[in-house]
């Protein structure tokens, strides 16, 4: 049977030639976790099922640096690699794939130009087109007008809908995340990388309501992201929300919970994971 | 020396990197002469069946000759699907027809694409699968191959239904999964292929 995937995420600052992996607890407090090429190799050897590499500066000028980083990583890492940040044109997809990546994730550029997903999936195939959705809870009680026509879900804190954000959470679109995910699927996206903006960086766990809501409403696989603090959170993403994959960064970077420890825990709790590698 | 056919499809660099990792030199080429001289020929493939067949057209004769000469041939992912007679993905386009059968959409009721790591169940002797029964490999596909003749099926995987994971006949081998993205077991398959 298909196993659940564990995906470490490398948030990269590409303003230095080799790139460096960043883990900001908050924006002001940036910590460096290491070199992306070395960390990717380590995670590969630890049994990561896939690696996501995000250019957090998301600047077009850094494309060359990203290509370089991908080329070096894929010399020794033989698992799928997904690249995100600064993917704006079909040529960005083809360039990253040529460097050795398998998929590209895009968020802001797809919201500004949804046709990008249609065009990219025709050229590189749906399997390489990942839609990044950064969603935030909006409470119906606080703004009933904004909630009109949205998909509403019950939570412990009251009724919510999910608002898509762009520019790494700095701007909100007022677009319903469920409807957007469905449109992306129809346009040819092959996977959703779903980040909870409420959960991101909190270590309180994934937003399971959000993850389940998206997962139940699309046929393509969903990667849960944002908020993971321990292996139990990953178990919940699989057991409660039935996500296809779980993404995490800091719990791996600082060796709080190395990948083998997480996989062992999941296995003991009945989750199908890839054990031999 | 491994020859990887460059027909403008997908992630060729990863495939040549993985051969390099196991100590084999690989070239990526669209040059007919180099392809004609190949000892081990690899047909990669990512994307859509119709476009792939269009791009493969100039190399069709070379592929048939290589196979008829009894030299080792490996198709990967879409490079497996194009070996069949036809595909629902492009109903009017003919496949290479090296294996009789159809490529069909994976039935609804599960996540599509079938994306991630799934266990190989070896169903017949096949030299490239030696020692790899039960190992996990990386799959990503929305269509799956259905052979007319099961005796060419070498491996399956369970996705609610049995999917074709690998096929083989004599010197022709193909995997639906990506050995170049499947860690150590994937490299082992390439090693087995190189040793043929």
Express each pLDDT in B118-129 by its tens digit: 999 999 999 999
Residues with Cβ within 8 Å of A275's Cβ and at least 6 positions away in sequence, in order, are A47, A263, A267, B136
Query: At A200, is the pLDDT very low, low, confident or very high (cuts 50, 70, 90)?
Result: confident
Residues spanned by the domain of B47 = 2-194
Nearest CA distance, B58 vs chain A (angstrom): 20
A230–chain B nearest CA distance, Å: 23
Asked whether residue A276 is domain-assigned, the answer is: no
Q: Where are the alpha helices (DSSP H) in B9-98?
A: 12-21, 32-36, 49-56, 60-68, 78-81
Could you give the count of Cα atoms lying within 13 Å of B138 in the half-sphere of its Cβ? Answer: 22
| pLDDT of A81 | 97
Note whether B184 contacts A: Cβ–Cβ < 8 A: yes
Q: Is residue A274 part of a domain?
A: no
Statement: residue B9 has pLDDT above 80: no
Instruction: Identify which of B125, B115, B108, B120 has the alpha carbon closest to the alpha carbon of residue B162.
Output: B120
In a domain, A273, yes or no: no
Task: Count the domains in chain A.
Answer: 1
Tell me if A220 is assigned to some domain.
Answer: yes
Chains A–B, number of C-beta pairs less than 8 Å apart: 111
Rounded to an integer, the average pLDDT of A39-57 is 95
CB A13 within 8 A of CB A19: yes
Residues in chain A within 8 Å Cβ distance of B136: 3, 274-277
The catalytic residue among B40, B66, B77, B144 is B77
In total, chain A counts a number of residues equal to 277
Is A75 in Cβ contact with B17 (below 8 Å)?
Answer: yes
Region of poorest pLDDT, from A131-135, A252-256, A260-264: A252-256
Residue A82 is part of a domain; what is its CATH number? Answer: 3.20.20.70
Which of the four pLDDT bands, split at 50, 70 and 90, describes residue A58? low
- pLDDT digit string, tens, across residues A10-28: 999 888 888 899 876 544 5
Q: Is A190 on the interface with B (CB under 8 A)?
A: yes
Contact at CB, B117 and A99, closer than 8 angstroms = no
Q: Write out the catalytic residue numbers of A.
A: 11, 134
- Identify from A73, A80, A90, A121 which residue to disrupt to test chain B contact, counting B C-beta atoms within 10 A and taking the largest count: A80
pLDDT (0 to 100) of residue A24: 60
Average pLDDT, chain A: 93
Per-residue confidence (pLDDT) for residue A27, from 0 to 100: 47
| Digit-coded pLDDT (tens) for B22-66 | 999 999 999 999 999 999 999 998 788 998 999 999 999 999 999
Cβ distance of B48 and A5 shorter than 8 Å: no
Q: Of the candidates B13, B115, B141, which has its C-beta nearest A99's C-beta?
A: B13
Is A197 inside a domain boundary? yes
Q: Are strands A51-55 and A29-34 parallel, antiparallel or unpaired?
A: unpaired
Q: What angle do CA A249, A255, A261 make, to 5 degrees?
A: 95
Work out whether the CA dihedral B144, B147, B152, B154 comes out positive or negative.
Answer: positive
How far is residue A11's CA from residue A8's CA, in Å, rounded to a whole number?
10
The answer to whether residue A275 is domain-embedded is no
Find the domain containing A52 and state its range: 5-268
Predicted local confidence at residue A25, as pLDDT: 52
Q: How many domains does chain B have?
A: 1
A78 against A256, higher pLDDT = A78
**pLDDT(B6) > 70:** yes
> Among B40, B114, B144, B178, which one carries the catalytic annotation?
B178
**pLDDT reading at A116 higher than 60:** yes
CATH number, domain containing residue B168: 3.40.50.880
Is the pLDDT at A221 greater than 60? The verdict is yes
pTM for the whole structure: 0.95
ipTM: 0.95
């Amino acid at each position: 049977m298909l196993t659940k995937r564990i995906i470490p995420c490398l948030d990269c600052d590409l303003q230095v030639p080799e790139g460096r992996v960043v883990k900001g607890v908050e924006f002001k407090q940036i910590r460096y976790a290491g070199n992306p090429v070395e960390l990717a190799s380590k995670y590969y050897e630890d049994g990561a099922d896939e690696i996501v590499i995000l250019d957090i500066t998301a600047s077009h000028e850094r494309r060359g640096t990203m290509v370089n980083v991908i080329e070096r990583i894929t010399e020794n890492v033989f698992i799928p690699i997904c690249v995100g940040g600064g993917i704006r044109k079909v040529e960005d997809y083809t360039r990253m794939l040529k460097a050795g990546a398998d998929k590209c994730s895009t968020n802001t550029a797809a919201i500004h130009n949804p046709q990008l997903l249609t065009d990219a999936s025709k050229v590189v195939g749906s399997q390489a087109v990942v839609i990044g959705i950064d969603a935030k809870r909006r409470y119906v009680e606080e703004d009933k007008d904004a909630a009109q026509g949205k998909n509403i879900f019950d939570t412990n804190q009251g009724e919510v809908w999910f608002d898509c954000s762009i520019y790494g959470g700095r701007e909100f679109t007022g677009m319903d995340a469920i409807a957007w995910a469905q449109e992306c699927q129809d346009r040819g996206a092959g996977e959703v990388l779903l980040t909870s903006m409420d959960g991101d960086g909190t270590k309180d766990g994934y937003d399971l309501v959000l993850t389940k809501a998206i997962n139940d409403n699309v046929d393509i696989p969903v990667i849960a992201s944002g908020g993971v603090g321990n292996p139990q959170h990953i178990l919940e993403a699989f057991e409660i929300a039935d996500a296809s994959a779980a993404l995490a960064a800091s719990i791996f970077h600082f060796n709080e919970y190395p990948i083998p420890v997480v996989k062992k825990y999941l296995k003991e709790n009945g989750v199908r994971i890839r054990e031999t590698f | 020396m491994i020859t990887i056919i460059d027909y403008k499809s997908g992630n060729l660099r990863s495939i040549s990197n993985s051969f390099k990792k196991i100590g084999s030199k690989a070239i990526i080429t669209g040059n007919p002469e180099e392809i004609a001289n190949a000892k081990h020929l690899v047909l990669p493939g990512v994307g859509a069946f119709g476009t792939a067949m269009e791009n493969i057209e100039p190399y069709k004769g070379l592929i048939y000759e290589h196979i008829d000469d009894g030299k080792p041939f490996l198709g990967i992912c879409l490079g497996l699907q194009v070996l069949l007679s036809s595909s629902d993905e492009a109903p009017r386009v003919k496949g290479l027809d090296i294996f009789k059968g159809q490529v069909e959409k994976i039935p609804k009721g599960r996540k599509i694409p079938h994306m991630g790591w799934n266990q190989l169940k070896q169903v017949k002797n096949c030299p490239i699968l030696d020692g790899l029964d039960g190992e996990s490999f990386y799959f990503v596909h929305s269509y799956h191959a259905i052979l007319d003749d099961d005796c060419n099926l070498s491996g399956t995987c369970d996705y609610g239904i049995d999917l074709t994971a690998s096929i083989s006949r004599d010197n022709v081998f193909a995997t639906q999964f990506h050995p170049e993205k499947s860690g150590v077991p994937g490299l082992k398959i390439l090693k087995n292929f190189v040793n043929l």
